[in-house]
Amino acid sequence: MKNKDISPLRFLSVLFFLLLAPSLFSQTYYALQIDRNIRFKAADITAKYQPRLVMGPEQALEFQSTVARFLVKKKAVEEDDTLSPMAKYELLKQLSSRETSEMADVLESYRWQEYMRIKNEIQPIPKPEKAIELKDAIVIH
């Protein structure tokens, strides 16, 4: 068996891969968290905005990716049984506000203004029913 020296270029490329691998795996893990239904829902929401925002293909993909990230967070809030309906509503409003803020980095200012104007129409946040909140309240006669 011959003893081969490792070339500096090969050493650097292996070192570079080892340093880069964790970030690649974390991105893959995040992609796995976004299930097929969320991807379809994000595509559907993006398609509803498209006629009004008229985004290019790359911008639409970035828009869709941002929507998908927030759909994952929204799903987590909606499925949290430890939260009251009002607490879920407040958290969903905060998430929606953060999503709107992040869209400022995706859209030009005139598109972002239109996005903010039509967002409640396309992505409304349903208010909790008063009956549910009254059930949890203490009634004093």
Q: Is the confidence at residue 132, as pLDDT, over 50? A: no
In this predicted model, what pLDDT tens digit does every residue of 102-118 receive, in sequence order? 999 999 999 999 999 99
- Tell me how far apart the alpha carbons of residues 10 and 33 are, in angstroms, rounded to a whole number: 34
The radius of gyration of the chain from alpha carbons, rounded to an integer in Å, stands at: 23
Q: What is the pLDDT of residues 5-62, one digit of tens each?
A: 667 777 666 655 666 656 555 544 455 456 889 999 999 999 999 999 999 999 999 9
The answer to which of 8-17, 59-68, 121-130 has the lowest mean pLDDT is 8-17
Instruction: Determine the Cα–Cα distance for residues 77 and 59; give it in Å rounded to an integer.
Output: 27
> pTM, whole model, 2 decimals?
0.68
Give the residue extent of every domain in the chain.
8-136
